[in-house]
Structure 1
Amino acid sequence: MTKLEIIRPETSLSPKAGDGLTVALGQIAPVWLDRKATTAKVAATVEHAADNGTEMVCFGEGLLPGYPFWVERTDGAVFESDDQKAWYAHYLDQGVVIERGDLAEIQKLARDRRIAVYLGMMERAPDRGGHTLYATLAYIDQTGEIRSAHRKLQPTYEERLVWGQGDGNGLRVHRLGPFTAGGLNCWENWLPLARAALYGQGEDLHVAVWPGGPQNTESLTPVIAREGRSFALSVSGFMDPKTIALDLPGADEMKQSDLLFARGGSCIAGPDGKWLIPPINDREALLIATLDHGAVRRERHNFDSVGHYSRPDVLQLHVNRERQSTVRLKD
């Protein structure tokens, strides 16, 4: 893999001792719908990020093994279509099964290089029968342990043809240096209550993962940062259809498109809502920035949505974090 272009803020922050955290956003393309090859590419990017002194690296929604771009381009809503069944069967076959160790290579890297990873993937979940995929955002800590696997609460539009609905089990935050990090998938970042579930657990570093496109990240990222008085990281994928190498119905026609399927749009906004790195479009890149927790504390002075500016006696959010299952076995 060719080393990624590195993009850093024009004006870097200078945190005092104990207040800094260096993060990376891996805006990369998958080896589309090839789990093993995409895992290798993710691993190479983790290594590249670690070589540049980062303590956390994040990747876009469903990156492993890729977003289902075929659905809207091959009549994905046709009922009982042999073509669509062929696509789905391949997608399912390439899904990530955490329990069989599909993330082991990345976990080992996280442990060996002491780097945390937020990774968007298509999870093939044995606890839901093993034949449905979920858009899952996994958090792997600096010891290589998977600390949460958040299944997207509500697939968006055509995604509902190939993804299942998730649950609240992964609505969790994680301590990382001076920060408390949490993350959401794509359009669920628009859900005020999902964001509030993370704010209420102390989140001050928000990771939003997207399939790719500045139309998603440019408007919302500063809003999340300003609302949460937190750093907001939006990380997207990239996809050039000319790289498609699949023998599936309509794949050759998709490859002829002159339009990128995913344009990137990764960016970082500070807790004042201002850009640290504005959206980076139309190419693969590694965005690297050092964040200053002192900036969070300064912005919480006049607004803290779950602290001094909240009224829990009037407004409260109740969150069900139980992992949902169709069958409850009792032996």
Structure 2
Amino acid sequence: MTKAAVIQSASIPFDAEAATTKAERLIAEVGAAGADLAVFPEAFIGGYPKGTAFGAAIGIRTERGREEYARYSAGAIALDGPEVPRLEQAAAEHGVHVVIGVIERLGNTLYCTALMISPETGLAGAHRKLMPTGTERLVWGFGDGSTLDTMDAPFGRVGSVICWENYMPLMRQAMYAKGVQFYCAPTADDRPSWQATMTHVAIEGRVFVLSACQYLTRADLPADHPIDVEAPHGDVLMRGGSVIIDPAGTVLAGPVFDEETILYAELDLSVKTRSHLDFDPVGHYARPDVFSLTVDTRPRQAVTFTE
């Protein structure tokens, strides 16, 4: 049995130091509770600036918006910065495998990234969101196939698909083909309809789904940070809705809305094995004579110097 923890908590937006400290504390808490795997929400370090327009409209940018972006960029982390070793140390000290959403800064571009950290080997993967949704594309770059990473743990293979990447059928198929057993879905989608997506993924992939969303309020943002579009739930910007579902589609924990919480569940990998009696989307239920998928995992760089 594997004990999993899904952490539904607010980021400390634009403050990587404070958010990392909070993550360390939460890793210690779930470690003390015996968790083998902990899943944090999307953009837990760096922040998800819900309702923020960054002063951008078609053909127009404002100086205020550029200042907002500068603060957002300053709160992002680099993979070779000080925050990742701190997370590695926390994972190692408490014996927890960690999946955590961060805003990654590489050069002059920000990425929405899910880090996978092993207590034995440290940073095992960094998946950059392939397709930022809507106006996320204003502030986040696009990942490429080279970051479709997984993490091997003593209890099985862990992978991460971020938020609306879960609406990309070929993305899901690629992760099933990679042998993911513990399918982590850091998200900012707090709608009730998200639960149907997570249940579908669990049944389609015959995977354990662990979806983590923030419970974020207006008070969690700096007082001077503008909200340009009124959130549907007033001062509650993200309601949570975190959930754990097994490969048969049984909800093991959650969903929980409108509060900070940690969901726990015992995951029995034999449930996955039994579920494959009648369905394997990349095996005996596939039809490679009719359908095929090619995944390009080469890094895509804007500039390549050759001699």
TM-score grouping bracket, smaller chain normalisation: over 0.9
| CA positional deviation for 1:159 | 0.7
CA distance in 2 between partners of 1:236 and 1:253 (Å): 20
Q: Is it true that 1:188 corresponds to 2:169 in the alignment?
A: no
Match for residue 102 of structure 1 among 67, 83, 90: 83
CA contact (8 A) 2:10 2:220 kept: no
1:273 is matched with which residue? 249
Aligned residues of 2:209 and 2:244 also touching (Cα < 8 A):
yes
2:205 alignment partner in structure 1: 228
Question: Which residue of the partner structure matches residue 7 of structure 1?
Answer: none
2:68 counterpart residue number: 87
Conservation of the 8 A alpha-carbon contact between 1:214 and 1:266: no
Matched, 1:77 2:57: yes
Deviation (angstroms), 1:327: 1.6
Residue aligning to 1:14: none
> Does the 8 Å CA contact 1:235/1:266 hold for their aligned counterparts?
yes
Shift of 1:204: 1.9
Q: Which residue of 1 aligns with 2:240?
A: 264
- Equivalent residue for 2:155, pick from 149, 160, 178: 178
Offset, 1:330: 4.0
Which position in structure 1 is the counterpart of 2:23? 42
Q: What aligned pairs does 1:43-62 form with structure 2 within 5 A after superposition?
A: 43-62=24-43
Give the whole-Å Cα distance in 2 for the aligned partners of 1:139 and 1:227.
23
Give the partner amino acid of 2:260. E
Partner of 1:17: none
Code of the aligned partner of 1:167: D
**What aligned pairs does 1:186-225 form with structure 2 within 5 A after superposition?**
186-215=163-192, 217-225=194-202
Gaps of 5+ in 1: 1-19
Q: Matched residue of 2:161: which SS?
A: strand
In 2, are the aligned partners of 1:57 and 1:118 still within 8 Å (CA)? yes
Q: Does 1:168 align with 2:145?
A: yes
Aligned match of 1:116 in 82, 88, 97?
A: 97
Shift of the alpha carbon at 1:71?
A: 2.1
Distance 1:216 1:235, change over 3 A: farther
SS in 1 for 2:278: coil
User: 1:62 offset after TM fit, Å?
Assistant: 1.0
Superposition CA RMSD, Å: 2.1
Q: CA deviation at 1:312?
A: 2.4
- d(CA) in 2 for partners of 1:216 and 1:39? 30
1:139 corresponds to 2:111: no
- What amino acid sits opposite 2:296 in the alignment? N
- Counterpart of 2:285? 309
Shift of 1:320: 1.2
Aligned residues: 305
Alignment correspondent of 2:264: 288
Q: Contact 2:151–2:158 at 8 Å: present in 1 too? A: yes
Look up the equivalent residue of 2:267 and give its one-letter code: L
TM-score by length of 2: 0.93
4+ residue stretches of structure 1 with deviation over 4 A? 251-255
Secondary structure of 1:105's partner? helix
Please tell me the residue identity of whatever aligns with 1:37. A
Unaligned runs of 5+ in 2: none
